[in-house]
Amino acid sequence: MMKVTWRSPANLALIKYWGKKENQFPINPSLSFPLLNCLTQTSVEALEKATGDFDLKCYLNNELHLEFTQKIKKYFQIIAEIEPRIKNYHYKVMTQNSFPYGAGIASSASGYSALAGCLGSLFQQSDIKTLSHWARLGSGSACRSFYDEFSIWGESAMNPSWRDEHASSYPMERVHPLFKKMHNLIFLVDTYEKKVSSSEGHALMKSSHFKEVRIIQAQLNLKKILSSLEIGDWESFQRIVEEEALTLHGLMLAHEKGYSLTNDKTWGVIHFIRELQKNKKNQICFTLDAGPNVHVLFPQNQLSLKAILHSFAEENKISFIESGWGTGARQL
C-alpha cells in the first residue's frame, strides 16, 4: 500500500475567471494569491489490485461521502487518460477543510489541487505546471493554488508564457512592498452550500449577452492591476478589485436565467467598507468570489483596521476567518 498527503490553499481571485471554453480552458485570464488559513488536507491510500476497474471511496471529515466519491472517481478517470497507471489501484481518499465547503471560498480549488498533488506523488510527477494542469481538469481555479506568489491563469497578449493549460507564477520582485503582505479578513455571512454551483454559473456564461465585453474587460483589468501592483497604487488596485467582484455578481444577475448568491448581510459588509473608505487614509477594499461571503483586503500598514473590523463583526454577529497571504500546495 502507498499513502501520500498534501495540503493546499484556496486562492482568492482578484481578476475573476468566469466562463469556460472547451477542455476546461478559461474565456479570460485571471489573477489570484494563495490564502492563509483556508486549507484542504487530503490523503490518498493506494492499494494495488489484480484485475478489473479501480474502486474508490472518499471520506470528508472522516465520514464516507457518496457524492464526493462519485465526483472524485470521475476525476480519477479523467487523469487516468493522461496517467494510465492510476487504473492499477484501489483508493481511499480522506479530505478535510479548515473552512466551510461549498460556500464560495474556493474549496474546490484547494480540494482538487491537494488531490492532484497526491496523484503526482503517487505516480512520480513533481513538475508544478503538470500538477497545475491536472488540478485544472477537476476545477479550473485549482490550477492557481500551487504557487506562493501571485498566480496568473489564461492566455494574454501581455505574455506568451501565460497559458490556458496551467497557471504561472508572477514574480514577486516586480510587486511593490505595499502588496507583499496582504491581509484578508473573510466575513462568513452564510456558510451553507450555495444553491447554484460555480460549474452551473460558468455554463450560463456561454449564452450571456455580455460575454465578449467581459473578455475585453478582464484583459484590460489584468493589465491595469499588474501596473498597480508594480508601482504601489492602492487606489487603482481597490477600484479594479471591487469592479471585478461586482461584475462577477452582475453577470449572474443579468443572465436571462439570472440568480443571486448574495444576501442582505453581504451588502451590509460592503456598505460598511464603503464608509471606512471615506477616510482616504484607510487603504481597504472588498471582493467576493462566487458566493455571499465578503473578503476584506488591506495592506500591512493598515493593521489598525483589524480592531474596527472585529468590532463590526461582533456587533452584527458575523463570524470571520483571519486570513492573508498563504503558501502554495505542499506535500506533507
DSSP of 107-155, one letter per residue?
HHHHHHHHHHHHHHHHTT---HHHHHHHHHTT-GGGGGGG-SSEEEES-
Per-residue pLDDT at 104: 63
Give the C-alpha separation, 326 to 332, whole Å.
Answer: 16
C-alpha cell at 189: 455571512
Q: How far apart (Å, rounded) are the C-alpha atoms in residues 293 and 188?
A: 5
Q: What is the pTM for the complete model shown?
A: 0.93
Residue 20 CA neighbour count, 13 Å, CB half? 17
Q: Is CATH 3.30.230.10 the right assignment for the domain spanning 1-332?
A: yes
With b for 16 or more beta-carbon neighbours within 10 A and e for fewer, the 104-128 pattern comes to: bbbbbbbbbbbbbbbbbbbbeeeeb
| pLDDT the model gives residue 116 | 98
pLDDT of res. 257: 82
- pLDDT on residue 254: 86
What was the pLDDT predicted at 54? 84
pLDDT in tens, 221-280: 999 999 999 999 999 999 999 999 999 998 888 888 878 889 999 999 999 999 999 999
- Position 40 scores a pLDDT of 95
Low-confidence ranges of the chain (pLDDT < 50): none
Q: What is the 3-state secondary structure (H, E, C) of 178-195?
A: HHCCCEEEEEECCCCCCC
Q: Which residues contact 9 (CB under 8 A, 6 or more apart)?
A: 34, 35, 36, 38, 39, 40, 110, 145, 326, 327, 328, 329
